[in-house]
Structure 1
Amino acid sequence: MSSEEIEVLVVGGGQAGLAMSEHLSAAGVPHLVLERQRIAERWRSERWDSLVANGPAWHDRFPGLEFVDLDPDAFASKDEVADYFVAYSEKIAAPIRCGVEVTSVRKNAGHPGFHAETSDGVVNARFVVAATGPFQRPVIPQVVPGQPRLVQIHSSGYRNPRQLPDGAVLVVGAGSSGVQIADELRRSGRTVYLSVGPHERPPRRYRGRDFVWWLGVLGKWDAETPPRGAEHVTIAVSGARGGRTVDFRTLAAQGVELVGMTVSFDNGILRFAPDLAENIAHGDASYLSLLDEADAYIARNGLDLPEEPEARVLGPVPACVTDPALELDLAAAGVRSIVWATGYAVDYGWLQVDAFDEAGRPKHRRGVSPEPGVYFLGLPWLSRRGSSFIWGVWHDARYVADHIATQRAYLTYGA
């Protein structure tokens, strides 16, 4: 089996790995990027067919390359995003090898660096960057045990309505994935139940500007820590069909039955928490709060942006919220499928170093781990709110590359 030496091994060839490669190259640091499948593979094979980016093309990209033949205010399809990263890899001449899986990384004993076992041989590296991102292991809560007549899939395995058996569908999770999948299923003619938990609900656009612009000028992308109690609160936003504000009232008016958080299952009966009205109200509050901040910003800076009083008209609360169902007989309701839009967990079983807490979560400060020479990139809140977004990971990668370059200078002193 082959063996090679490299200064920096970057594991993962998605947005994080490519951003890392660009900044390492700019710093003159020799490196190798290993990707077990294709560049940006998850965009191609672990997303539903109609998915588009949640941010407009002018925003959700790297600084050095625009999307080709796409209006800056449009939302790129999942394949356009994957193609964009392939093009970016070619633009920066990234030293990337696809189809190579890293199976283990261990610290060398008695000398600096790390020993990496891969499907294509051994790589010895002075530094290792884990750029595999946050979407590593789909999480399906162990609420409904295996039922032979009930199809259960994670949102990463959902492709389109035709994939599911005939009948009603329960979608669990009201973040971006859950609301878009529920909307698509309802438009296909399905009976749809949507289990809604705590969420933020920003406007898609307000007074002529996309919400990503508002979060930028209001400094919210730069928040270094999430608000207390909101560490895992999802954002309900969508770029589907040209981009629209997610409004659960509208979904209910279109026939989606809203229910609270899914909590238990027994003898064919699924039970929900009595928290639906509270979750909807908190989402409305976050929506209105952003409008208030935007209005104040416009007034403070004397901007000539069109007023939009209709954005504050929320409409009546639907009956399914005022009188929510607390349980559902799946068979009686004709529910034959559950789509779990319940997020992901990290999986760093291959990285066998002292850089994790008791729950297996990475320990780091702005991507720099307590294990000298090991770095993380692409994780939510790595340095700020924007860290897991395409443009955010690019800026985080620059910081990590600078740290690596500084450490190289120390290590080569006197050599």
Structure 2
Amino acid sequence: MTMPNKEIDTLIVGAGQAGVAMSEHLSNLDIPHLVLERHRIAERWRSERWDSLVANGPAWHDRFPGLEFDDVDPDGFPSKERIAQYFETYARKFNAPVRTGVEVKKVERNNGRPGFTIETSEGVIEANRVVAATGPFQRPVIPPIAPDDSNLTQIHSSEYRNPDQLPEGAVLVVGAGSSGVQIADELQRSGRDVYLSVGPHHRPPRAYRGRDFCWWLGVLGQWDVEAMAPGTEHVTIAVSGARGGHTVDFRRLARQGVTLVGRTRHFDHGRVTFESDLAENIALGDENYLSLLDAADDYIASNGLDLPPEPDARVIPSSPTCITHPILELGLAESGISSIVWATGFSVDYRWLNVDTFDDNGKPQHQRGVSREPGIYFLGLPWLSRRGSSFIWGVWHDAKHIADHIATQRKYLAYQDAAQRHGETSTQQHLNSDTGTHSQLQDIHMARGN
């Protein structure tokens, strides 16, 4: 059914965690709005993640304030299906005005009048404001070094579902953030030979002295850090909630049977070369890991907390041979590699948003989600306002800030409308007064016989 032309105050594009959070805050402020989602609520959790994925944060932490996971232990890690169900339930909780199955194709600013015209798959909408709540996982990125080899199966991590999906043979997983590590681990446990290409990374402890790392980052104020440390723009985070949650340990993965290699450098005539940076990258992860333990110990001592010591957490085992004597080159056929999984992240895709708020690289320009194009907002992006912005709870707080900004702008416009109406009324009263005076003068002249 075609959606009729309509006007709305605020249009939210996307009904994932960002869109649902935005809708809740606008609803609380009685701001008329509509949420358009081209598929289903929380679609990427459903169809663009592997089968065994669970949340990387515990249920007590990775949720919105208004609803708990009633069937998941607070310290447990909900499955991807349960998370998608959670957002559906949350949207029903406040009757979010979500229209699914509607794709937004183009947004353009109106000329000579306020607001935007939005072309959708079901008609045209006029809106005073638009919130792009499509998040950071919009376009899978496979780097240009990917080989043009019909003998290789190559997929992005967003396409990976389970080991049975891949043909027989060894697998090279490129990228050692949370996705790459968990996929490599699952493939190796299924009986595959796995090579894991490891770049610079942080690897926080899953838990330390009885508290999850999410708690530690909270009390230490690290979730609220407003900008990345210099030089960490391309550093991934390796953390996992799989199998009840555990600290990612690359040495353990190597002892388990995963062959670690450095960053993937080049493919040429059936061979792949790697950078000689594996040991350096592992050391960087160790440094990050130990720094959080140090900060946690200092916090415990300063605040007199009764949390049990955990000296074993500081034991860093010796490095296996694949780290001390790294492989720098492999023949794909000789190594039995038949598949590559590119766990190399995503880029944003705002081709539908035809407004002046992007830099030369297509990156949105904004301050805490408020773009330089009045009336356009961004939500759900990493580091939108702080480190926690792309996490479930963090996007909820960012949405509140944007909703408050929208409410303030509406008040300014309401004042302008009232002032204009008042000015029109005053002008009319003045004209009426002038007309009355002119009539009185005419009467006087007539009475005098002039």
Match status 1:227 vs 2:200? no
Where do residues 99-178 of structure 1 align in structure 2 (5 Å cutoff)?
99-178=101-180
Deviations for 1:3-36, whole angstroms, at most 9, x for unmatched residues? 1000000000000000000000111100000000
Q: Structure 2: how far apart are the matches of 1:68 and 1:344?
A: 32
Q: Structure 2: how far apart are the matches of 1:332 and 1:365?
A: 51
Q: Secondary structure in 2 aligned to 1:413? A: helix
Partner in structure 2 of residue 405 of structure 1: 407
User: How large is the Cα RMSD of the aligned pairs?
Assistant: 0.6
Where do residues 266-415 of structure 1 align in structure 2 (5 Å cutoff)?
266-415=268-417
TM-superposed deviation, 1:178 = 0.3
Q: Structure 1: how far apart are the matches of 2:112 and 2:412?
A: 19
Higher helix share: 2
Deviations for 1:201-237, whole angstroms, at most 9, x for unmatched residues? 1000000000000000000000000100102311100
- State the one-letter code of the partner of 2:250: F
Identity between Structure 1 and Structure 2 (%)? 71
Where do residues 18-97 of structure 1 align in structure 2 (5 Å cutoff)?
18-97=20-99
Q: Structure 1: how far apart are the matches of 2:295 and 2:176?
A: 24
Q: Secondary structure in 2 aligned to 1:157? A: coil
Q: Structure 1: how far apart are the matches of 2:100 and 2:177?
A: 32
Q: Structure 2: how far apart are the matches of 1:133 and 1:271?
A: 34
Deviations for 1:135-187, whole angstroms, at most 9, x for unmatched residues? 00000011133211100000000000000000000000000000000000000
Deviations for 1:289-325, whole angstroms, at most 9, x for unmatched residues? 0000000000000000000000001111111001000
TM superposition score normalised by structure 1: 0.99
- State the one-letter code of the partner of 1:386: G
Q: Secondary structure in 2 aligned to 1:33? A: strand
Q: Secondary structure in 2 aligned to 1:156? A: coil
Q: Structure 1: how far apart are the matches of 2:66 and 2:79?
A: 20
Q: Secondary structure in 2 aligned to 1:152? A: strand
- State the one-letter code of the partner of 1:152: Q
Partner in structure 2 of residue 182 of structure 1: 184
Q: Structure 2: how far apart are the matches of 1:195 and 1:322?
A: 15
Pair member with larger Rg: 2
Determine if contact 2:23/2:33 at 8 Å carries over to the other structure: yes
Q: Structure 2: how far apart are the matches of 1:363 and 1:181?
A: 34
- State the one-letter code of the partner of 1:289: S
Q: Structure 1: how far apart are the matches of 2:146 and 2:156?
A: 13
- State the one-letter code of the partner of 1:84: Y
Q: Secondary structure in 1 aligned to 2:187? A: helix
TM superposition score normalised by structure 2: 0.92
